[in-house]
Amino acid sequence: MFGSLSIGATVLRLEDFEAASWVFHSLVLFFVVGFLLFLFTKRWYFARRRIASHKITAEYEPPIGLNPLEMSYLFRRKLSQQDFAAQLVYMAQEGVVHFRKHDGKKVLMPGPKYKGKLKPYEKSILDVLDDHKPVVVAELIDNYETVFSSGDEYVSLNEFVRMDMTAVGYLRKTSVDRYLAVLLRATVLVLTVTVWLPLVASWVYHTFSVGSSDLASVGDVLLSVLYYGGVFFVPALASVVVVKYWQSRSTGRRWIVQPGLHRVWPQIVGYRQFVALSESEKLNFQSKRLKKASATNTLPYAIALGFVKNWRDIVT
């Protein structure tokens, strides 16, 4: 199927195991696919199942007080207009700003009041409203990047959020090495269960079938493991990059956070699932009042995490 390589020894080919039963290979393949699916979806599945299977008797609060921008940044690398709009809704709920109608358009105004400590990017938003002139929400969202520019100096919303979360000890200063380590571990795991395990399992089955083995055949298997590992390394790595990208959208980019945040990571993933299930009305709330209050409080998070498709109509 893949040819062979000869460097003083014989590389085993899949054709060499013709005596192995196709049923055996099917079972190995079934185990491999099932194991990988479980591995990459278990955190998402169990968090979703745990929340959906219980009656909701109290409101879920965002872990460690994370706001929509911070929550979104843990799951997505690039913040957008949608995240900015979600933060405006959150700030309105906190009393930092308020929405009202002006000349038939929804505008943003400061206040009425807020006693808490503002984030640097929230202060930048308030600076735009500092002269108490109404700002059209739609125009502010479309040009949200200009909110964070001061003269020739410009700091993106992404950078604002990252710097603030790093300063409070949530994020690592650099996460490239952690990300590469995650990719390498996952690639080795994929190669193990999709290439090396079936290869060794076939050799074991073949050995038991013929009733004998020797050191030469063991050496051939080891050489085959190295050979096929090299052949499939790049495809395995590429598949891991794609899977990790989509997995991070549901279970977060855990490699960017400090070890201290790992302790509350199940709550972070669980809160995202709570928001998703609440938005899709798949939760069993104890009362209608609790359901309405939860829908209101989770709205900015639902917008930031991508669960509200008509977010622009709602905000503007």
Question: What is the 3-state secondary structure of 156-174?
Answer: CHHHHHHHHHHHCCCECCC
- Judgement on whether residues 218 and 252 belong to the same structural domain of the protein: yes
Asked whether residue 214 is domain-assigned, the answer is yes
Tell me what pLDDT residue 198 has.
77
Structure tokens at 72: 């979104």
Tell which of 218, 241, 256 closes a domain. Answer: 256
Tell which of 240, 256, 272 closes a domain. Answer: 256
CA-nearest of 296, 235, 309 to 90 is: 296
* CA distance linking residue 285 with residue 282, whole number of Å: 9
Tell me what pLDDT residue 200 has.
80
- Judgement on whether residues 180 and 100 belong to the same structural domain of the protein: no
- Judgement on whether residues 206 and 65 belong to the same structural domain of the protein: no
Tell me what pLDDT residue 83 has.
95
Structure tokens at 91: 């700030």
Tell which of 219, 238, 256 closes a domain. Answer: 256
- Judgement on whether residues 114 and 29 belong to the same structural domain of the protein: no
Asked whether residue 33 is domain-assigned, the answer is yes
Asked whether residue 21 is domain-assigned, the answer is yes
- Judgement on whether residues 126 and 228 belong to the same structural domain of the protein: no
- Judgement on whether residues 102 and 125 belong to the same structural domain of the protein: yes
Tell me what pLDDT residue 35 has.
63
Range of the domain at 240: 14-53+176-256
- Judgement on whether residues 86 and 153 belong to the same structural domain of the protein: yes
Tell me what pLDDT residue 114 has.
72
Asked whether residue 2 is domain-assigned, the answer is no
Which segments of the chain are extended strands (E)?
55-56, 97-102, 105-110, 135-136, 149-150, 153-154, 284-285
Asked whether residue 136 is domain-assigned, the answer is yes
- Judgement on whether residues 238 and 91 belong to the same structural domain of the protein: no
* CA distance linking residue 79 with residue 73, whole number of Å: 7
- Judgement on whether residues 93 and 228 belong to the same structural domain of the protein: no
Q: Model's pTM, two decimal places?
A: 0.78
Asked whether residue 185 is domain-assigned, the answer is yes
Query: Per residue of the chain (316 residues), what is the pLDDT tens digit?
Result: 344 433 344 554 545 544 444 555 566 566 666 666 666 565 656 655 666 666 777 778 898 999 999 999 999 888 999 999 999 999 999 989 989 998 888 999 888 877 778 898 988 888 888 766 788 999 999 988 888 776 566 778 898 899 999 999 999 988 889 999 999 998 998 888 778 887 787 777 777 777 666 677 777 788 888 888 888 899 889 988 888 888 788 888 989 999 888 889 888 988 898 888 888 777 777 888 888 888 889 999 999 999 988 999 888 7
CA 222 to chain centre: 36
- Judgement on whether residues 62 and 193 belong to the same structural domain of the protein: no
Domains contained in the chain, number = 2
**Contact 140/315 with Cβ under 8 angstroms?**
no
Tell me what pLDDT residue 183 has.
92
Tell me what pLDDT residue 211 has.
66
- Judgement on whether residues 194 and 247 belong to the same structural domain of the protein: yes
Asked whether residue 7 is domain-assigned, the answer is no
Asked whether residue 23 is domain-assigned, the answer is yes
- Judgement on whether residues 269 and 126 belong to the same structural domain of the protein: yes
